[in-house]
Amino acid sequence: MVVQTCLFVVVLGAVLFASAGDWRWSEAWIYLAAMLTFSLALGIWLAGHDPELLASRLTSPVHRDQTPWDRVFMVIAFLAFFGWLALMGLDAGRFGWSDMPVFFEAIGLICIAFCMLICWRTFRVNTFASPQVRLQSRRGHQVVTTGPYRLVRHPMYAGALLYFLGVPLLLGSWCGFVLFPVFAIGLGIRALGEERLLRSRLTDYDIYTRRVRFRFVPYIW
C-alpha cells in the first residue's frame, strides 16, 4: 500500500510539473503533500480495520469480474483524469491563464480533506467498496444501509464531487474548474449503471432505493 501510494503521488507530480514546466509550483506541492498524507493515513487505518477491503482497493482498475461497460469507463476516466491534471498544469503553471484568489485555494484544500473524510466514513461501514462496478459474491455482497448510506446511495461519488471541485481550486486553475460538470455527469452515468447491476443481483436494493431517494446530494439528486 505504501509503495503503491507513493508511486501514484510521484506520477501525479510528474504530470503536473511536466505540464507546468516549473517544479517550484507551490500549489502543486501542497496538493501532492495532501494526497500523500491523506492517502497513507487512510490506507494505514484500513489495513487495521478491513485488510480485505484494502486489498480490493489496491487491485487493478480493470478486474476480471467487473462489468464490461465499467472496464471501458475506467480506461476513459483514467485518461481524462491525467489529461485534466495536465491541463491545469498548463493553465496555472506554464501559461498563467488563471488568477485564483488564495482564499479559493484554501477552500480547495478543505474540499479535498472532506472528500477523504467521506471516504473514511464509507470504508467504516462498507467492506464492499471496491473501485470497480462488480458484485462480490465470494465475499457475500450485501446492501449497506448504515453510516453515510442513510443519506445518499453513493457517498463515495459525493466525496469525489468534492475532490473534483477542490483540486482545481487548490491548484489555482479556472480551466480545471470549468470541467467539473463533465466529471459530475460521468459519475452520474456510472452510478446509474451500478444501480442497474445491484437491482438485478441484490434483492434488497430496491427497498433501499425507495427509502433513500437521493444518489449524491440530499434533496438535489
User: What domains can be seen in the chain, in order of their start residue?
Assistant: 2-211 (1.20.120.1630)
Name 108's Cβ contacts closer than 8 Å, sequence gap at least 6.
165, 166, 167, 168, 169, 170, 171
**Mean model confidence pLDDT for the chain:** 94
The CA distance from 159 to 113, in Å, is: 10
Tell me the whole-structure pTM to 2 decimals: 0.93
Asked if residue 113 has pLDDT above 80, the reply is: yes
Of 182, 10, 194, 169, the residue nearest 101 (C-alpha): 169
The CA distance from 34 to 114, in Å, is: 12
Of 9, 14, 16, the residue nearest 33 (C-alpha): 9
Asked if residue 137 has pLDDT above 80, the reply is: no
Mean per-residue pLDDT for 11-33?
96
